[in-house]
Structure 1
Amino acid sequence: MANYIFHAADSRGSADHGWLQSKHTFSFANYFNPERMQFGVLRVLNDDHVAAGQGFGAHPHDNMEIISIPLAGDLEHKDSIGNVKVIRSGDIQVMSAGTGVTHSEYNKNSDRDVKFLQIWVYPNKRNVSPRYDQLSLNPADRVNKFQQILSPNPADEGVWIHQDAWFSLGNFDAGVAQKYTFKGEHTGLYIFNLSGELLVDGYTLQTRDGLAITALQEVTITAKSAAEFLLMEVSMQS
């Protein structure tokens, strides 16, 4: 039988560091909720706003797949494996921390905030060589359809990670309904609504609401208004 867990936007954890405003879907830093530890291998879903010219200083990671999706503005990335990059709205960035990497992320702009999703996924291979990749996405490819932006396969669409996970973006006009078919085995789907109103199997998702679904093979997503959303299909076998 299908299982659903609804996460209202205002039920997320909050952090206010002045220069950083963050909302945490799952337990992170000073926000701890034993019922919000992870969804399968999806460990972190942070909705971050970073003030102009501010950012995260150099800090280490290991054995984690780290994905950044800018929603507005430009984010400058520097790391210990030699990358100095700017990721912009419309891009996706992935870093396999593996045996260990240090990186920093700063708002490249001095006149506006940068808004981005910071996502962590547990890998299915430990102690791999650290790697970095980013890709500019075509927004036309998600209009009234699902645009795959991440998968386990380097030859597939989007970036890839060391895990059975498939991410897709959608930008639907009001009234559009599409059926999403699960791509993996033993996977669940986490829907994060970026804007607008969605209807999913009787659940209404407003802006920044989330819905976790397991024990299904397909689900129909209907836009009640113009809506943008992120689908994260992930292995439930952590």
Structure 2
Amino acid sequence: MITTRTAKQCGQADFGWLQARYTFSFGHYFDPKLLGYASLRVLNQEVLAPGASFQPRTYPKVDILNLILEGEAEYRDSEGNHVQAKAGDALLISTQPGVSYSEHNLSKDKTLTRMQLWLDACPQRENPALQMLKLNGSQQLIATPDGAQASLQLRQQVWIYHIELQKGEKASFRLHGPSAYLQSIHGSVHAQTEKEEKEALTCGDGAFIRDEAHLTLVAESPLRALLIDLPV
């Protein structure tokens, strides 16, 4: 089954220095029916004004995946770790209790645009504080439980694909379990299951995928998307 969540249905925020779209409950936006999906707790698209910062804060034990779409950011934690990431980078932060984390838009005249995901982390797993890779287009497996195919290693049974397709191209995926989430970053796509169920998504739309073993995507225009395979 495929259930669309359109961009217009998502939570919105405009604080001047920050503009955001929230797929699930976050900050001031609260929907008791949308507290996350399986181990995916947060899926935000956020735009930080030039020079803007998220001041140091602590998190529950989650993996935070940032995909930089435009601009350049610096990330620091209270343990002395820091890294800069720019458009085309994917950065994974393995948060720890008691450690604070900050984010800063390095540009004084350009906005920073990124996608951010939070995934519940298994308490027993310990990974490097920071991991980063380059997005290379096509159908790239960017995060996995075991670091397969040079991906970022998560502390959870989740597989994440970054997808880029040209108009008319198709991509098929075998899913690991009963849940997945599809997010269009830009472009239009038809998602199709083995049962011939089809659902159309446009820029910014998402879709809950339930109880499907396979999923095929057909790009209706140049497409950039995320597929988050969430068996637990």
**TM-score under structure 1 length normalisation:** 0.90
- Retained in 2: the 8 A contact 1:151–1:157? no
Identity level (%)? 28
- Retained in 2: the 8 A contact 1:188–1:212? yes
Distance 1:160 1:96 in 2: 10
**CA shift digits 1:110-164 (9 cap, x unpaired):** 111000011100112258477221122323xx1xxx1111000135432111001
Cα deviation, residue 204, structure 1: 0.6
1:107 corresponding residue in structure 2: 105
Letter in 2 for 1:216: E
The within-5 A match list for 1:1-238 is: 3-125=1-123, 128=126, 131-139=129-137, 142=138, 146-182=139-175, 184=176, 186-201=177-192, 202-235=198-231, 237=232
Letter in 2 for 1:218: H
Distance 1:171 1:224 in 2: 12
Distance 1:112 1:18 in 2: 14
- Retained in 2: the 8 A contact 1:63–1:100? no
Distance 2:67 2:163 in 1: 14
Letter in 2 for 1:152: P
**Partner SS, residue 39 of structure 1:** coil
Distance 1:207 1:30 in 2: 24
Distance 1:114 1:46 in 2: 13
Structure 1: tracts of 5 or more residues without a match: none
Distance 2:80 2:112 in 1: 23
User: How many residues align structurally?
Assistant: 227
Closer/same/farther in 2, CA of residues 160 and 128 from structure 1, 3 Å limit: closer
**TM-score under structure 2 length normalisation:** 0.93
Structure 2: tracts of 5 or more residues without a match: 193-197
- Retained in 2: the 8 A contact 1:62–1:101? no
- Retained in 1: the 8 A contact 2:120–2:156? yes
Cα deviation, residue 37, structure 1: 1.2
